[in-house]
Amino acid sequence: MSNVETWWPHLTIAAKHRLLADLSAPIDAETAREIEAITGETAPSRLSPSDEAFIRTQVEAVD
């Protein structure tokens, strides 16, 4: 399975918004297709706790 650090930066804004709407929800089919297109691997059905933590750090404002 591909690492979130690999695919997160390459997702469309729309896909990022869908994930950010509920990080603990199952990954929707459209976002899964994007992840698979980026990685060439099967997308996870859900984000892991470490994936969620990584994504949260990517959207935090930097001082």
pLDDT band at 63 (very low <50, low <70, confident <90, very high): low
* pLDDT band at residue 62 under the 50/70/90 scheme: confident
Task: Provide the domain limits for residue 30.
Answer: 4-59
Per-residue pLDDT tens for 2-60? Answer: 899 999 999 999 999 999 999 999 999 999 999 999 999 999 999 999 999 999 999 88
What is the rounded distance in angstroms from the CA atom of residue 5 to the CA atom of residue 7?
6
Q: What is the pLDDT of residue 59?
A: 86
Domain count, the chain: 1
